Structure 1
């Protein structure tokens, strides 16, 4: 088993930074963390050169990158997406689908299963996130309206049975007929029920939370806020997520989907232990700006990447982000004035907890997986290590 000793690092723990720290890795796991030097013979030495040493970033909502999308339905797409995002600090991810036909969902599950063991050079897969197709048509956003429908009991039972070991999360509009029953079913099978692309009001969200729903998918995007019906005002999903302490939220912290004041507001109300930063990245992440496609490369929607975001071809709305996880942390620190330790927590420990992998991932803790990053004060990734193996080092750091 390979042994690695990282020295001269500013080691980020969930609550503080250990100055001039040393981290030992034995095989796939973290063996020791201390301030100063640790006597250790026969260890490969990595000098962090005063940079930060951080837990790997965990992205629980991601569609693509590097010119590929998980809906392309190819092994190459799955593996290349994992590899390109590892260069930006992502060490674990939840491959995410889009609204589609049942046959395409089953195909996506097949590819997840076939590529999981082959994924040795990129961010690890920690379970699939099915985004749709059970959404409110009025909040479709960039989801293809051709496939949006109400929850179908026989359909989702079949999909879950087919992907029992793969599916870890399903995003649904809770106000739809059959959505409450679906939430109960998801929870009974250990699958996270998330609220997304919805026009629900507070009373509907509260009922959903009482019946299994626990997470708000990309807060503010494609969901209701305060609405007026027949003179009376009703709190929407956004306000519900703030009011219900037990709800976790995820935010696309690229600085464009949510400007600085909203990033600060979410942080102030929910706190870092209830917020997961997500990229929601489509195939344009890590690619030049210009025309692109959201979803399957042959049948997806044409979009435009400009000014650091993907937008619909008619420029009517956003069409997903092109963010990478390093950019999310950088945005929270530099734009939203969030302490680095807490920005990193929202990109590591909190998403690990939401996905139920906190016993092995999410913090630099003795006994956990050696998913480790080295980055500078501007969150430029210098080294990415997954399970004790370096999968990326920048040219200026080797």
Structure 2
């Protein structure tokens, strides 16, 4: 059973301001009250925030793994351990993400998701699966395994979507033959269509947007910028992201995939309401540097983790992030100069809007799910609460008391 909680003596973070000395009440997994003053709440477990920040739980809509596990490992334990790992860093909800693979492996992963979702009680909540690939431009595959990259196959994706209802988003290259039809079909099934690993030009991205593609996956990574064709210049996906006002973007704000000037540019041009922070984390997230594996632990791609990022062994390209959500927020504040309220919005309200769950998550409002994090000035996580349940605390006695 979840106890009723009272979190007091904290600075409550809202999209527009910070409420000093505020109090938050939680009952039956929901937020019941938010106040600028202390409130009497008999029968609750009281948590003193000690002047730290009280914010909505972080929502990571693009994550592959962590804690030594990858969602492509195909086991319930891997799913649950990844959820527990990222909860330690403030993530209260996530969208598990696949890599390019064979249809059978994908269907197996989707089936494992359903089992893990039913058992997930002590980690970040799952918000459906993100299928990344296999419909990508070979020239922009990055660390994706080229053996599995192919054009959209209606028979294949229709079968997959008919066999599983847990897919919440799917990323593809919109310039490929059949990709527009694919985007329309995704939208007809209530699945978010996203642009990724692509060499598209502006005209192709605009048409894709009109057909239902509404998100740019990891902006700047594995996509076209300004290019020349027959001596003429064409705007690419990067420019399209800025030119199409209604297009949402996600960025890996680890300070490595995007250097500070680009982080500042995205914030300046797209703003916090259209920009989601993502980890894109692979299995080495939360682990020491060294050798690791992208994808399945037996058949994936070998990588090396150094300089705070995963790289291909020849160091020719990044092979995934090892970021955690707390560091994304810290980086946006400390190296991109973004106000704390906006940095938090980019990993709470904005991803909630993108994924269509803003009625339940993304802000500290009475009636919404009690997904809460408490952190200090350096965004070190003190406590993580998912649906009113304390799943992580620096101070174990808080969990024992609750």
TM class, shorter-chain normalised?
over 0.9
Q: How does 1:306-325 map to 2 (within 5 A)?
A: 306-325=306-325
Aligned to 1:198: 198
Secondary structure at the residue paired with 2:199?
A: coil
**1:163 and 1:216 mapped to 2: Cα distance?**
24
Secondary structure at the residue paired with 1:117?
A: helix
Secondary structure at the residue paired with 1:377?
A: coil
Secondary structure at the residue paired with 1:25?
A: strand
RMSD: 0.9
Aligned to 1:86: 87
Between Structure 1 and Structure 2, how many residues are aligned? 397
Following superposition, the deviation at residue 251 of structure 1 comes to 0.1
Q: How does 1:261-272 map to 2 (within 5 A)?
A: 261-272=261-272
Q: How does 1:61-210 map to 2 (within 5 A)?
A: 61-164=62-165, 166-210=166-210
Following superposition, the deviation at residue 41 of structure 1 comes to 1.3
Following superposition, the deviation at residue 2 of structure 1 comes to 2.0
**1:176 and 1:62 mapped to 2: Cα distance?**
25
**1:267 and 1:287 mapped to 2: Cα distance?**
29
Secondary structure at the residue paired with 1:241?
A: helix
Aligned to 1:288: 288
Secondary structure at the residue paired with 2:296?
A: coil
Secondary structure at the residue paired with 1:338?
A: coil
Aligned to 2:9: 8
Secondary structure at the residue paired with 1:78?
A: helix
Could you state the TM-score of these two structures normalised by the residue count of structure 1? 0.99
Q: Work out whether residues 58 and 92 of structure 1, in 8 Å CA contact, stay in contact via their aligned partners in 2.
A: yes
Secondary structure at the residue paired with 1:154?
A: helix
1:155-200 per-residue CA deviation (whole Å, 9 max, x = no partner) reads 0000111112x00100000000000000110011110000000000
**2:338 and 2:65 mapped to 1: Cα distance?**
27
Secondary structure at the residue paired with 1:333?
A: helix
**1:71 and 1:26 mapped to 2: Cα distance?**
36
Following superposition, the deviation at residue 396 of structure 1 comes to 8.9
1:79-131 per-residue CA deviation (whole Å, 9 max, x = no partner) reads 00000000000000000000000001100110111110100000000110000
Aligned to 2:390: 390
Following superposition, the deviation at residue 397 of structure 1 comes to 8.6
Aligned to 1:29: 30
Q: Work out whether residues 31 and 366 of structure 1, in 8 Å CA contact, stay in contact via their aligned partners in 2.
A: yes
Q: Which runs of 5+ in 2 are unaligned?
A: none
1:188-236 per-residue CA deviation (whole Å, 9 max, x = no partner) reads 1110000000000000001100101000000000000000111100000
**2:237 and 2:243 mapped to 1: Cα distance?**
10
Following superposition, the deviation at residue 395 of structure 1 comes to 3.9
Q: Which runs of 5+ in 1 are unaligned?
A: none
